[in-house]
């Protein structure tokens, strides 16, 4: 019987700290066995799942198979095994369409779950916003008021107000319980391209919001008083996206090829330039924590406003522990990764897409970036370094949007080819295909609790998918 080969291994945290002494391990040691060892070393109270990497290559099966045979490493040298904690809870992949909800009379352009995942809204080319009852999966209220297409929708971080931006140059505010219009914010000279609310941990009253427009400006509104507090003007072309960061700063991307970062008083903090064409999309590594605010995957309601702010602050602190990163996707086929707090230069220029980069998104744990492009592919990149990780191929037409599961283990993509696809991040392969839409799928969202997915598109139907 052949003797099992042994290797010398050293555990190391993602921050570079060594854990425990160098160990002599059998080369066929599996990822599960490594998990048992690291939980022993760290003396964790409860067993936590970990993923393991050698030279940025993940150990999926065993060291022998993935690293020595698959990665060309010698068993004679000391292997540094980097461990990274994973989410405790597991999201189950959605597998079936539980409802096809009709009602919109034009294409569904945006779908969004509320921060606690208990409410669902959709915006459409038929000028309405609809709010759906998730317990019965039926239409609850229709919000009418816009005089042209509804292009974007955004929930207030406490879930009490829904904002929508339209082709009619206005932002409207809705009461999600009754569907009543709470107010109209007028002032932009062209249509609204994006909306962003101030994070809950900075403002528990949740009454400030930024709107970006084709007119080249971003306006910051007090939604209670329904007035514009200040306007951010400096971009020389349409503003395509706006993000309100956890440090209070506002990030804007524009067709003038630049990204600008603004202070909370409306003054310009810095300009990031480097793209050779329009900036289409921005994502922050803390986006998921900012979007869900006080709610974790259990969606337990906070006791009061102070409790909500405390919870949101804790969740943001955890998400921003290793510094906040910003990624931008452009019509120049590239993406740039920035560390806006420390440098005006990009950390990495991420090339590989053959066509326009349409949408980028950080995983909830901030470790990976997914990008969707008109070249029919979804690509994965390292969220810290910007290095290329994998291409996810399977769509046969442009990919419009990507969306992560709350545990960062799966990715969902929506495409012009009328399908949704779920990708397994461990194997970097297709896990499930979800056909059902009759035409292009423009918008998709995975609920923060991971229990359902909503999608909408050109066929005017909103579909709800369940495990």
For residue 30 the two structure tokens come to 């599996």
Distance of alpha carbon 205 from alpha carbon 465, whole angstroms: 33
Distance of alpha carbon 34 from alpha carbon 60, whole angstroms: 11
Length of the chain: 467
- The percent of the chain in helix, strand and coil, each rounded to the nearest 5, is 10, 45, 45
Res 3: pLDDT = 61
Neighbouring CB atoms inside 10 A of 271's CB total: 13
Type and span of the H or E element at 147: none
Mean pLDDT by 10 residues, the chain (467 residues): 75 84 88 87 78 86 85 83 83 93 96 95 97 93 96 96 97 95 96 97 95 97 96 96 96 97 95 96 96 85 91 93 93 96 94 97 95 97 95 97 95 97 93 96 95 96 96
Q: What does the DSSP assignment read for 92-137?
A: PPP-EEEEEE---SS-EEEEEE-TTSS-EEEEETTSEEEEEETTTT
For strands 462-466 and 96-101, give the pairing. antiparallel
Res 1: pLDDT = 41
Handedness of CA 100, 105, 106, 109 (dihedral sign): negative
Asked if 29 and 63 touch (Cβ cutoff 8 Å), the reply is yes
């Amino acid at each position: 019987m052949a003797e099992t080969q042994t290797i010398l291994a050293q555990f190391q945290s993602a921050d570079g700290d060594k854990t425990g002494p160098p160990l002599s391990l059998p080369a066929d040691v599996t990822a599960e066995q490594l998990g048992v060892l690291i939980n022993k070393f760290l003396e964790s109270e409860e067993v936590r799942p970990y993923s393991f990497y050698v030279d940025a290559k993940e150990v999926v099966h065993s060291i022998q198979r993935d690293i020595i045979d698959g990665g060309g490493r010698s068993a004679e040298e000391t292997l540094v095994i980097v461990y990274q904690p994973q989410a405790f809870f597991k999201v189950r992949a959605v597998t079936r369409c539980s409802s096809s909800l009709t009602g919109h009379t034009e294409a569904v352009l945006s779908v969004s779950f509320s921060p606690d995942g208990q409410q669902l809204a959709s915006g459409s080319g038929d000028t309405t916003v609809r709010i759906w009852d998730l317990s019965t999966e039926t239409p609850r209220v229709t919000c009418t008021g816009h005089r042209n297409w509804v292009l974007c929708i955004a929930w207030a971080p406490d879930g009490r107000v829904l904002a929508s931006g339209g082709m009619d140059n206005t932002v409207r505010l809705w009461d999600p319980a009754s569907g009543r219009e709470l107010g109209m914010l007028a002032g932009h000279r062209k249509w609204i391209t994006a909306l962003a609310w101030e994070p809950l941990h900075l403002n528990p009253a949740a009454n400030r919001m930024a709107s970006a427009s084709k007119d080249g400006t971003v306006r910051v509104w007090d939604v209670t008083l329904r007035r514009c507090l200040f306007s951010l003007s400096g971009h020389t072309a349409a503003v395509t996206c706006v993000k309100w960061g956890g440090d209070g700063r506002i990030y804007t991307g524009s067709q003038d090829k630049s990204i600008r970062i603004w202070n909370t008083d409306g003054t310009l903090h810095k300009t990031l330039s480097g793209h050779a064409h329009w900036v289409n999309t921005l994502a922050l590594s803390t986006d998921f924590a900012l979007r869900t605010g006080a709610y974790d995957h259990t969606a337990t309601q906070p006791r009061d406003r102070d409790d909500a702010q405390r919870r949101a602050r804790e969740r943001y602190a955890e998400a921003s522990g290793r510094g906040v990163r910003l990624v931008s996707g452009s019509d120049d086929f590239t993406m740039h990764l920035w560390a806006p707090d420390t440098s005006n230069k990009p950390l990495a220029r991420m090339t590989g897409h053959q066509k326009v980069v349409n949408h980028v998104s950080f995983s909830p744990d901030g470790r990976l970036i997914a990008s969707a492009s008109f070249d029919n592919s979804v690509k994965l990149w390292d969220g810290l370094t910007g290095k290329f990780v994998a291409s996810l191929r399977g769509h046969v037409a442009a990919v419009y949007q990507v969306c992560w599961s709350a545990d960062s283990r799966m990715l969902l993509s929506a495409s012009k080819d009328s399908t949704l696809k779920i990708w397994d991040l461990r194997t970097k392969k297709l896990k499930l295909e979800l056909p059902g839409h009759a035409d292009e799928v423009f918008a998709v969202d995975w609920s923060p609790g991971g229990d359902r997915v909503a999608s909408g598109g050109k066929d005017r139907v909103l579909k709800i998918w369940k495990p």
